Amino acid sequence: MKVGIAQINGVVGDFPGNAKRILAAYRECLEKGAELVVTPEMSLVGYPPRDLVYKSQFVPKCLQALDYLADEVKEVPLIVGYVDFHEGKFGKPFRNAAAWLEGGEIRSKFWKTLLPTYDVFDERRYFEPGERCEPFVWGGKRIGVTICEDVWSEDYLRRPFYDRDPVEELSAAGVDLLINLSASPYHLGKPENRRRMLTDVAKEANVPIVYCNSIGGNDQLVFDGHSMAVDPSGEVISQLSGFVEESRVIEVFSGGETEPLKSGSTEQLYDALVLGLRDYAHKCGFSTVCLGLSGGIDSALTAVIAADALGPENVRGLTMPSPYSSRGSVEDSFSLAEKIGIRCDEVSISAAFDSVKTAMAPVFEGKEQDVTEENMQARLRGMFLMALSNKDNHLLLTTGNKSELAVGYCTIYGDMCGGLAAISDLPKTKVFEISKWVNRNGERIPWNTITKPPSAELRPDQKDQDTLPEYDVLDAILELYVEQHLGAEEIIGHGYDETMVRWIQRRVDLNEWKRQQAAPGIRVTTKAFGMGRRMPIVQRFV
């Protein structure tokens, strides 16, 4: 059986556009000889739709688009992910669904059985689970259609979440092929983990699996694709590319070349950030971006990502020296701009800084300069950047990293101003790692920017490590506290200094109010600030 996998990039709520994408991929697969075509979870809707499903016309318009697709599908079957109503008297109002389209009509509908409500998922808020899992007979084959979480083995979850196993139910009923429509978001290590899971499930069920995953960025989530087909022995016979739209036809029952496990965390992280930035900008209606260039590594990496995502001609940099900025930082900003081909302008904030200090002098009389004056500079830069964004309709990118955001080493309404925090889920150590990778084939980021000590340059001779621990230590402790949820005593038990651990813990907790006002960031780790980590601002737990 030749199955077409249509790994497409949908836009949430764009039913006409998504239908066109699906049909284009469907017809491409037909030209390649497909006998059946599979699309991702909610391919007609875009994932996740969140509370859009409650809008009165959302599901009706989705069903209208489904009917349109059904009318267009004459040649071979197409399996489409969508949202349907739950017609039962009790339970949630909607279904996460898949439809089998064939011969100009909807032949069958399938409901998602396992609805995740952890991490970034909240499907039980909206959907009612399927009550039973039964094979669909087509072409002499018994086919089990599942949706995303339905195939996730409990061995790959932190604990068993469900008292049902759809794959086991389908296997008991007898199936020749498992098909999974998925919208599985990316984080570091996820493609490899997902692949191991699918190979284990195929071996245990002793059936081939066709797995079709979404690609693209929707808000903070990035979907990496890496769709695949796995044979009953657990060998991957074909795997689609990551982070790009692709359609491929695979001979499921004849086997094929086994594909090696592809990894490369640094390249994956970079590809995810490029895709996430590009889709966030384009899907929000922006063709250009702007950002502040400080001469530091964070703004440099953000600029390179933006140039690769949108084209250098669509990226505008602004370097804004203060009385404490070194000329070297300005020169590094212009050097970066020249190397990657973006425009950079210089606008000093010194005069504006003096004006603000003069204006506030009567109010501050008798008080020494402190962090207040440092924050004035950051906020003036934020105002200048917002002005540039407003004037030319650029999406403003913030450039802070996860380490800084975690401990509040950033200025609200200052360097946090913007519409997208491109690298806010990258710890500082990863920023260095990826920046060096960017330069693997030649200098794009000036090496001086990578090697010099990080500094906000808001006071004389300032260095990040005047305030923060060394980044390798800070990131290691943040990994244990934020990602693994360990308490201070447990982290200290790993050999870290107690004073430092408790200082970091306190800073993370105190700065939740800042993070809840931060621009949305692109999720690339297992526990991103934003929709992936939901903490109260007002709390006293230590």
Residue 263 pLDDT: 61
Residue 408 pLDDT: 95
How is the chain split into domains, by residue range?
Answer: 2-261, 270-464
Residue 457 pLDDT: 64
Catalytic residue among 29, 62, 102, 112: 112
Residue 324 pLDDT: 83
Token duo for residue 521: 């960031």
**Are 182 and 139 in contact, with CB atoms under 8 Å apart?**
no
State which H helix or E strand residue 17 sits in: helix 15-31
Residue 542 pLDDT: 78
**Dihedral pair phi/psi, residue 114, rounded to 5°:** -100, 120
Domain 2-261 belongs to what topology? Answer: Nitrilase/N-carbamoyl-D-aminoacid amidohydrolase (3.60.110)
User: For helices 265-283 and 297-310, what crossing angle results, to 10°?
Assistant: 70
State which H helix or E strand residue 2 sits in: strand 2-7
Q: How far apart are CA 54 and CA 46, in angstroms?
A: 15
Residue 254 pLDDT: 75
Residue 468 pLDDT: 86
Residue 215 pLDDT: 97
> Mind listing the pLDDT tens digit of every residue in the chain (542 residues)?
999 999 999 999 999 999 999 999 999 999 999 999 999 999 999 999 999 999 999 999 999 999 999 999 998 999 999 999 999 889 999 999 999 999 999 999 999 999 999 889 999 999 999 999 999 999 899 999 999 999 986 666 666 788 889 999 999 999 999 999 999 999 999 999 999 999 999 999 999 999 999 999 999 999 999 999 999 999 999 999 999 999 999 999 876 665 665 567 899 999 999 999 999 999 999 999 999 999 999 999 999 999 999 999 999 999 999 888 788 889 999 999 999 999 999 999 999 999 999 999 999 999 999 999 999 999 999 999 999 999 999 999 999 999 999 999 999 999 999 999 999 999 999 999 999 999 999 999 999 999 987 766 666 766 667 678 899 999 999 999 999 999 999 999 999 999 999 999 999 999 999 999 999 999 999 899 988 888 989 888 87
Q: 335, 282, 330, 332: which is closest to 306 by C-alpha?
A: 282
Residue 301 pLDDT: 98
Catalytic residue among 29, 148, 212, 290: 148
Q: 215, 227, 300: which is closest to 262 by C-alpha?
A: 227
Q: How far apart are CA 27 and CA 10, in angstroms?
A: 17
Which residues are within 8 A (CB) of 417 and not within 5 positions of it... i.e. 6 or more apart?
382, 383, 385, 386, 396, 398, 519
Residue the block writes with tokens 């490590």: 465
Catalytic residue among 29, 35, 41, 430: 41
Q: Assess whether 148 carries a catalytic annotation.
A: yes
Residue 253 pLDDT: 85
Q: Assess whether 365 carries a catalytic annotation.
A: no
The full DSSP string for 60-128 is HHHHHHHHHHHHH--SS-EEEEEEEE--SSSS-SEEEEEEEEETTEEEEEEE------STT--GGGTBP
Token duo for residue 229: 């087909």
Q: How far apart are CA 48 and CA 216, in angstroms?
A: 12
Q: How far apart are CA 153 and CA 357, in angstroms?
A: 61
Token duo for residue 1: 């059986």
Calculate ∠ Cα 80-522-303, nearest 5°: 125
Reply yes or no: is the peptide bond before residue 48 cis, omega within 30 of 0. yes
Give me the count of residues in the chain.
Answer: 542
Local structure of residue 234 (DSSP, 8 states): S
**Dihedral pair phi/psi, residue 194, rounded to 5°:** -65, -40
Local structure of residue 49 (DSSP, 8 states): -
Domain 270-464 belongs to what topology? Answer: Rossmann fold (3.40.50)
Token duo for residue 328: 């070297």
**Are 19 and 69 in contact, with CB atoms under 8 Å apart?**
yes
Q: Assess whether 29 carries a catalytic annotation.
A: no
Residue 259 pLDDT: 62
Q: 148, 119, 403, 437: which is closest to 271 by C-alpha?
A: 437
Q: How far apart are CA 152 and CA 164, in angstroms?
A: 11
**Are 522 and 426 in contact, with CB atoms under 8 Å apart?**
no
Task: Determine if residue 103 is left, alpha or beta; phi over 0 gives left, psi from -120 to 50 gives alpha, anything else beta.
Answer: left
Q: How far apart are CA 531 and CA 122, in angstroms?
A: 10
Q: How far apart are CA 94 and CA 136, in angstroms?
A: 22
Residue the block writes with tokens 């995740």: 116
**Are 145 and 79 in contact, with CB atoms under 8 Å apart?**
yes
